């Protein structure tokens, strides 16, 4: 766009303004913010609503699951997810319905009690710092903000967080106690960490109680046949001499039901002992009936894969639509660059520097809700004001097309306005 003459830009601006006025006149009410499954996807797990069924309340060992107990979760369910998550069953816990809840609680426990290898609770440090690869997941950042944990943004590369930046920060700043990582189909970029990057992250010299918050939310959420080989972060960390560094989180929120799924925690034996000890004062055991329901629905690893193939059939056309519409509407003007993820839930769009807030505001005024610009950065502060997270899963395909077309008009108008300013 910025190679055009002022006259050309003025003509384009007039054109985009007219398109935008027509868009506003349509009085749309559409939403591109919701990173959640559509009702059609939720229907795939409809069986859960009638499982486990009357009289079905025992696990394979014959334990009555209606009662208290079983703090580690149902062994059958843990063994289904041990493979995809690459965590040995003995070191994988099946817990409540939310992995975010677990991440929050682990941070609070680390603040109050410290973690294995630590010399004191994190709250007794003058400063606690987390590394935050950007663009990233706003709810990770919210936990840090809530508890006064300082965040340092780390740029993402195509194979994960920039390892040189991470290594040099860890080597020079002992206040760094944690790092957010979404290793597979990152939110929102879709980046999959390479083995090289994972080896860097587990081996870089750091504080002894430094922890990788390994949020493997999208491990089985493929959109293509090109499956990344799941990496065994726990084994790689043990090999590198830091067995307690990774804390693995995952859930079935986007496999079955986000409101009634099952969350998992995996780590070294020392960290598992630590979390089990902390949880024993918090709960007398998770919802094992819900876990039994999940075992009955998903059955085994192949069952999870078959189930996720149905999700893919619904989601692939939506992700293709994002790419096709941006190619048609933005690419001819050199506007925007966006990811075409091979899995996960989001597309990350970069518009021209300084234009993201304006584009989102224009879209909002035309009745198209888009995730606030800046949300993908710590403190909501995108220094280049350019990144926007697109969530294509929830709207129906037709509605998605209308919303993306309208949003593209907003981006084009914002970019021409900025060039003429
Ligand atoms: N982690 C990431 C990277 C996510 O994108 C999300 C939801 O969007 C979550 C965690 C939430 O997980 P849960 O539903 O298990 O709390």
Distance of CA 378 from the midpoint of ligand 1 (Å): 17
Atom of ligand 1 lying closest to residue 137 CA: 3
pLDDT at 359: 98
Architecture of domain 6-31+305-420: Alpha-Beta Complex (3.90)
Atom of ligand 1 lying closest to residue 252 CA: 15
CB-based contact 58:64 (threshold 8 Å): yes
Classified by CATH at the fold level, domain 48-299 comes out as 3.40.640
What is the percent of the chain with per-residue pLDDT over 70, rounded to a whole number?
100
Q: Whose CA is nearest to atom 4 of ligand 1?
A: 217
pLDDT at 1: 74
| Four-residue CA torsion sign, 97, 100, 104, 106 | positive
pLDDT at 270: 98
Q: Whose CA is nearest to atom 1 of ligand 1?
A: 217
pLDDT at 2: 73
* ipTM of the modeled complex: 0.99
Alpha-carbon distance 413 to 20, whole Å?
8
Boundaries of every domain in the chain: 6-31+305-420, 48-299
Task: Read off the pLDDT of each residue in 67-95 and give the average, rounded to a whole number.
Answer: 98
- Site residues for ligand 1, CB cut-off 6 Å: 35, 98-100, 137, 182, 187, 215, 217, 251, 253, 258, 263
Alpha-carbon distance 248 to 254, whole Å?
17
Identify any residues that bridge with 19 across adjacent strands, giving them in sequence order.
Answer: none
CB-based contact 65:292 (threshold 8 Å): yes
Tokens found for residue 216: 């493997």
Q: What is the pTM of this model?
A: 0.97
Q: Per-residue DSSP letters for 171-214? A: HH-TTEEEEEE--SS-TTT-----HHHHHHHHHS---TT-EEEE
Which of these, 380, 313, 378, 375, lies nearest to 349 by C-alpha position? 375
Quote the DSSP letter at residue 301.
Answer: H
CB-based contact 251:98 (threshold 8 Å): yes
What is the percent of the chain with per-residue pLDDT over 90, rounded to a whole number?
98
Tokens found for residue 254: 């986007």
Distance of CA 367 from the midpoint of ligand 1 (Å): 27
Residues 57-70: tens digit of each pLDDT:
999 999 999 999 99
Atom of ligand 1 lying closest to residue 254 CA: 14
Distance of CA 339 from the midpoint of ligand 1 (Å): 20
């Amino acid at each position: 766009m910025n190679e055009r003459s002022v006259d050309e830009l003025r003509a384009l601006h007039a054109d985009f303004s007219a398109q935008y006025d027509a868009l506003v006149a349509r009085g749309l009410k559409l939403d591109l913010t919701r990173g959640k499954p559509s009702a059609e996807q939720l229907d795939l797990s409809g069986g859960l609503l009638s499982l486990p069924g009357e009289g079905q309340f025992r696990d394979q060992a014959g334990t009555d699951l209606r009662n208290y107990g079983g703090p580690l979760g149902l062994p059958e369910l843990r063994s289904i997810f041990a493979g995809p998550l690459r965590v040995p069953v003995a070191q994988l816990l099946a817990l409540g319905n939310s992995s975010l809840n677990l991440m929050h609680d682990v941070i609070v426990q680390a603040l109050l009690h410290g973690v294995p290898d630590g010399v004191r609770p994190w709250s007794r440090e003058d400063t606690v710092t987390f590394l935050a690869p950007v663009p990233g997941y706003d709810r990770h950042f919210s936990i840090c903000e809530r508890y006064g944990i300082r965040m340092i943004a780390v740029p993402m590369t195509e194979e994960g967080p920039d390892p040189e930046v991470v290594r040099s920060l860890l080597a020079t700043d002992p206040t760094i106690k944690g790092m957010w990582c979404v290793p597979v189909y990152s939110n929102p970029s879709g980046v999959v960490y390479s083995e090289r990057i994972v080896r860097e992250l587990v081996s870089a010299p750091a504080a002894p109680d430094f922890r990788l918050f390994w949020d493997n939310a999208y491990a089985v959420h493929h959109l293509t046949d090109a499956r990344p080989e799941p990496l065994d972060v726990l084994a790689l960390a043990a090999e590198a001499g830091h067995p307690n560094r990774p804390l693995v989180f995952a859930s079935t929120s986007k496999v079955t039901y986000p409101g009634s799924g099952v969350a998992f925690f995996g780590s070294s034996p020392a960290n598992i002992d630590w979390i089990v000890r902390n949880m024993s004062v918090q709960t007398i055991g998770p919802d094992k009936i819900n876990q039994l329901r999940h075992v009955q629905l998903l059955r085994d690893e192949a069952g999870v894969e078959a189930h996720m193939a149905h999700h893919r059939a619904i989601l692939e056309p939506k992700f293709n639509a994002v790419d096709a519409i941006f190619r048609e509407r933005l690419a001819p003007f050199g506007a925007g660059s966006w990811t075409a993820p091979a899995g996960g839930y989001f597309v990350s769009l970069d518009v021209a520097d300084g234009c993201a807030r304006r584009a989102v505001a224009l879209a909002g005024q035309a009745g198209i809700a888009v995730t606030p610009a800046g949300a993908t950065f710590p403190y909501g502060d995108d220094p280049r004001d350019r990144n926007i997270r697109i969530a294509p899963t929830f709207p129906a395909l037709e509605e998605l097309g209308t919303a993306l077309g309208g949003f593209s008009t907003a981006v084009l108008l914002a970019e021409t306005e900025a060039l003429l300013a």
